[in-house]
Amino acid sequence: MTSGERVEALAALGRERVLILDGAMGTQIQDLKLDEEGYRGERFADWPSAIKGNNDILNLTTPDAVKAIHKAYFEAGSDIVETNTFSATSIAQADYGMQELAPEIAREGARLAREAADAIEAETGTPRGVAGAIGPTNKTLSISPDVNDPGFRDIDFETIRKAYHEQAAAMAEHVDFFLIETVFDTLNAKAAIKALLDLKAETGIDRPIMISGTITDRSGRTLSGQTAEAFWYSVRHARPWAVGLNCALGAEEMRPYIAEIARVADTRIITYPNAGLPNDMGEYDETPEETSGFVGEWARSGLVNILGGCCGTTPEHIRAIAESVKGAKPRRPARRERAMRLSGLEPFELSA
């Protein structure tokens, strides 16, 4: 099955039921309890700086463990898994002095997910997709890192665009979708969108784009200040295969913002909340039953098309979510009258 055929098959499946995304990669990696030596492996035994915490390097040092995590999510009911490439850009990898390795990390992350997907697809006869995860980087284009100089930026749009282009090009062969996720700064997301459109124009490689923003708290805004509706208007030009929210909030807190996007978006809604809010130790206590209870209601209320989990979620959470949405009809994209819709921090609509 080609990537295009797989996307069509998943789209057809998604017209019948809610599709299931995977859960947290980082949570599963934490359960491996790797020390510095475990992260380094043989290849990076003599690396001059500490690399523990660089989860993406495990694509090179412990590939079997990464593939096993993907397999566990597929076996729990995921139709689509994300690659272990959230930080596989030269910008993010510079924290570890590994910026030159970013394309290899991205390529191997995509390959491992593809191998896991293909094995399950062959075993079950049902399509299993791979979404190339594109994280926000550790830089922001809209906000100064210096509180004393609001106009200062320590990176520019073209530098971020190039980093995303490099990452996407490395993953393209093995993925069915590109997923621009955990968007806290819409301008960073714009750089990723531009990179993907450039890659398509240059190579002819056409992978559907999914975009997932992050509402940082109960203010209902991204870190760069946009409401959920304004965020949608800012990225709608990319004609995403799906749009939605992930991270920062648990399902209970996220619901009003998912409902806000679902009301206006003329495409599929994807959402994958955290397992509740972190406790005082930074850990997540929400059980699979609790998380699935919240998102199952979303599905029954017609708010979503694709459901998964972010920080703190496990294969058990995904299994419970898949069970909770059985029989629920997927959301129908919003149909709205033609109007001029603009966005700053707030949405603006001018009707005829």
121-136 tens-digit pLDDT: 999 999 999 999 999 9
Q: Which of 139, 141, 137, 138 is nearest to 151 (CA)?
A: 141
> 123 with 175: CB under 8 angstroms?
no
Question: Could you tell me the pLDDT band of residue 280, with boundaries at 50, 70 and 90?
Answer: confident
Query: Quick one: pLDDT at residue 119?
Result: 97
Known binder of ligand: residue 178?
no
Query: Quick one: pLDDT at residue 270?
Result: 98
Take residue 349 and report the two structure tokens written for it: 């609509």
> 248 with 281: CB under 8 angstroms?
no
**The amino acid at 248:** A
Query: What's the CA gap between 144 and 152, in Å, rounded?
Result: 5
Query: Quick one: pLDDT at residue 338?
Result: 87
Query: Quick one: pLDDT at residue 351?
Result: 79
Take residue 284 and report the two structure tokens written for it: 């997540």
Given a cut of 90, whether residue 352 has pLDDT beyond it is: no
How are beta strands 129-134 and 177-183 bridged, if at all? Answer: parallel
Least confident piece of the model among 74-83, 272-281, 297-306: 272-281
Question: Could you tell me the pLDDT band of residue 285, with boundaries at 50, 70 and 90?
Answer: very high
Quote the distance between the C-alpha of residue 86 and its chain's center: 8
Q: pLDDT, tens digit, for every residue of 134-177?
A: 999 999 999 999 989 999 999 999 999 999 999 999 999 999 99
Other beta carbons within 10 Å of 191: 25
> 245 with 229: CB under 8 angstroms?
no
Question: Could you tell me the pLDDT band of residue 344, with boundaries at 50, 70 and 90?
Answer: very high
Tokens 């910026």 found at: 99
Question: Could you tell me the pLDDT band of residue 82, with boundaries at 50, 70 and 90?
Answer: very high
> 54 with 96: CB under 8 angstroms?
yes
> 17 with 11: CB under 8 angstroms?
no
Query: What's the CA gap between 295 and 316, in Å, rounded?
Result: 14
Take residue 90 and report the two structure tokens written for it: 């030269």
Helices (H), the chain: 3-14, 25-31, 36-40, 58-61, 63-76, 90-93, 102-124, 157-171, 186-203, 228-235, 251-264, 288-300, 315-324
Taken in order of first residue, the domains within the chain and their CATH numbers are 3-351 (3.20.20.330)
Query: Quick one: pLDDT at residue 93?
Result: 98
Q: pLDDT, tens digit, for every residue of 298-343?
A: 999 999 999 999 999 999 999 999 999 999 999 999 888 888 999 9
**The amino acid at 58:** L
> 93 with 103: CB under 8 angstroms?
no
Known binder of ligand: residue 311?
yes
Q: Which of 79, 82, 81, 84 is nearest to 124 (CA)?
A: 79
Q: What is the DSSP letter of 148?
A: T
Q: Which of 318, 320, 315, 319 is nearest to 31 (CA)?
A: 315
Other beta carbons within 10 Å of 10: 22
CA distances from 40 to 28, 59, 108 (A): 18, 11, 16
Q: What is the mean pLDDT of residues 255-282?
A: 95
Known binder of ligand: residue 44?
no
> 6 with 23: CB under 8 angstroms?
no
Q: What is the mean pLDDT of residues 115-120?
A: 98
Mean pLDDT (the chain, rounded): 96
**The amino acid at 239:** R
Query: What's the CA gap between 36 and 38, in Å, rounded?
Result: 5
Tokens 């282009």 found at: 165
Q: pLDDT, tens digit, for every residue of 1-32?
A: 899 999 999 999 999 999 999 999 999 999 99
**Burial tier of 16 (Cβ tally within 10 Å: 0-12, 13-18, 19+):** exposed
